[in-house]
Structure formats: C-alpha cells, structure tokens
C-alpha cells in the first residue's frame, strides 16, 4: 500500500482527538504524506480514525464507500477495533511508511427496511443492525426468517443481527457468543427476550435474514445510529455488504484473543 494521502475522521467534540489530528498532520508531513478531512471528500489512500468506537464505526462506512483501508487510533474507553494508541502516533506513522502491517477483511452488513414491498430506508453497518422497540415502554413482536425458512417468533426489547466483528459489541452484552472476526457469519441475538428458551443463532452469509414486525411498530438502528421508525408490518432484510472493510493491523498488535483479553478481561476497563 503506497500511502500518499491520509483521510482523517476525527471525533467532533474531543479535544484529545483534535490534538492527535494536529500531531498526525505534523508527523505525516515530515515523511511527505498529506492529511485531509475524509468527511469532505477528496482523494485518500488510507482512512485514519481518531476517536472511540463510535468514530471508528463512522470511519468504517467512509472507508468501505471509498474502497480503501482503515486504521483506528484509540482515544476512547474500549477501542477494540483500533490498532494504534494515541500515545504512540509516531510509531503508527512509521509502521505505515515501512509496510509493517497486515490488512484484515471484515464483513459488513446491508439492511433494507420495507413496508408492503415499498422501501423505507437502508443502512450499512460493521457491527450490527438492530430492530428495536419504538419507545422505552414497548416491546417488539417479530418473526425471523433465514432465507425462506422461519427461525422463530420473538417478543423482546429488540433483535440484533451482528457480524463476527460485532459479536463483541451489543450482541455480547445481550448474551450472544464471541466469534472470531475471520469467520463470515451473522449472529442473531434477541435482546431481553420474554422466554428463557430463546438464545442466539449463528447463520451463514449466503441467505438473507428478514425480521418482520408482527404486532406493533419498532425502530431500525445500525451501529448504534437511529435510522428510521418502523410502522406495523414493516420488514427489515439484512445481508452481507458487497465489499468487506479492509482493517489495518499494525505489526506487534497481537492476535484476536490477546486483544479480547486486554479489553474484556479483569481490570481492562479504562474510564476517560
């Protein structure tokens, strides 16, 4: 990867992110690399995320749209997707210049909401697409299909369709399994289901997953962003995005389970 221009996505309200941006501009210019704001368009060879997990997810959509790799710099609490730390930006720039990195392909999701066959909204996500309750006092009543085959009918606070990457995010909090990111599957997890027999289901990527509202409305979100309110009888169909995210891992970053232990093990929480 020949990086001549870095497109940066910066947390909009973080002073630490702004300072990191200024440092990146200085470090990159010292090796002849230009830095631009990725959200303004323009050519770039690499997207750099400066912020927490939310910024990283926003940057992922930009990277996939452009078809270029993404490197995350963690300034948040978890930073599970990030490969660089804000305190060592010089080493990150040097690693990119020297080619000391690998690129992991991460499956993303496309979600399409419809009513009576007419489109309502569409969204892309790296972690998960969720059909959730429309208001705090309500639940969702949904039928879930994989292809043409019905999985079950659920009454719950919501229903998550997650990627392997997203298996360590909302789905994990809802009791779903941890899946290695190299495994291209979709993890179906109900949120606070009204039956102890309902558990996560892991399905392959070849058939779409459809979540259909049976009784009452709901809401559609993607990677924590509200997309649209769903009227009764709406359906959400989820399938793999046509292009994967190309996620940069710097040399010495360690394997998936080492990162998992460092983020989720005892004493791993780091408040900001």
CATH of the domain at 255: 3.40.50.10330
Nearest to 121 by CA among 238, 245, 208: 238
Quick one: tokens of 251?
Answer: 């040399």
Whole-structure pTM value: 0.91
79 and 130 together in one domain: no
Same domain, 226 and 187: yes
The tokens describing 110, both together, are 């496309």
Identify the domain containing residue 233 by its residue range: 109-240
Pair 152, 252 in one domain:
no
Q: Which pLDDT tens digit goes with each residue over 58-68?
A: 999 999 999 99
Cα separation of 83 and 72, whole Å? Answer: 6
Task: Mark whether 116 and 51 lie in a shared domain.
Answer: no
Neighbours of 39 (CB within 10 A): 14
Average pLDDT score over residue span 201-207:
97
Matching residue, tokens 């997953």: 209
In a domain, 89, yes or no: yes
Label residue 175 left, alpha or beta by phi (over 0 means left) and psi (-120 to 50 means alpha): left
Catalytic site positions: 53
Quick one: 21 and 86 in the same domain?
A: yes
Q: Are residues 12 and 89 in the same domain?
A: yes
Q: Which parts of the chain fold into alpha helices (H)? A: 15-30, 53-66, 89-98, 170-173, 256-264
pLDDT exceeds cutoff 50 at 91: yes
Q: What is the CATH number of the domain that holds 163?
A: 2.60.200.30
Segment 164-174 shows an average pLDDT of 95
Percent of the chain with pLDDT over 90: 79
Average the pLDDT over each of 13-22, 229-238, 249-258 and give the range with the smallest value.
249-258
Q: What is the C-alpha to C-alpha distance for residues 88 and 8, in angstroms, rounded to an integer?
A: 17
Closest CA to 234 of 258, 251, 218: 218
The average pLDDT across 24-32 equals 94
**Residue 231 sits in the same domain as residue 143:** yes
pLDDT tier, 196 (very low <50, low <70, confident <90, very high otherwise): confident
Please indicate, yes or no, if residue 272 is contained in any of the structural domains.
Answer: no
């Amino acid at each position: 990867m020949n990086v001549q221009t870095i497109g940066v996505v910066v947390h909009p309200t973080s002073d630490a992110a702004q300072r990191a941006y200024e440092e990146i501009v200085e470090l990159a210019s010292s090796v002849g690399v230009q830095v631009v704001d990725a959200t303004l368009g323009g050519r770039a060879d690499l997207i750099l995320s400066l912020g927490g997990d939310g910024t990283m997810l926003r940057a992922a959509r930009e990277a996939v749209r452009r078809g270029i790799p993404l490197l995350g710099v963690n300034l948040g609490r978890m930073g599970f997707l990030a490969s660089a730390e804000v305190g060592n930006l010089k080493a990150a720039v040097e690693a990119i210049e020297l080619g000391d990195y690998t690129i992991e392909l991460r499956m993303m999701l496309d979600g399409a909401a419809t009513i009576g066959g007419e489109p309502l909204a569409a969204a892309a996500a790296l972690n998960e697409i969720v059909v959730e309750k429309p208001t705090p006092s309500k639940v969702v009543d949904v039928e879930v299909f994989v292809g043409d085959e019905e999985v079950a009918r659920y009454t719950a606070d919501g229903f998550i369709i997650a990627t392997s990457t997203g298996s360590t995010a909302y789905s994990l909090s809802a009791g779903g399994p941890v899946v290695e990111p190299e495994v291209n599957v979709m993890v179906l997890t109900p949120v606070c289901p009204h039956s102890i027999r309902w558990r996560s289901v892991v399905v392959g990527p070849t058939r779409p997953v459809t979540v259909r509202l049976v009784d009452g409305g709901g809401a559609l979100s993607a990677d924590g962003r509200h997309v649209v309110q769903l009227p009764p009888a709406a359906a959400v169909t989820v399938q793999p995005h046509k292009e994967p995210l190309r996620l940069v891992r710097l040399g010495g970053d360690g394997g998936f389970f080492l990162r998992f232990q460092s983020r989720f093990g005892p004493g791993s929480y780091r408040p900001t």
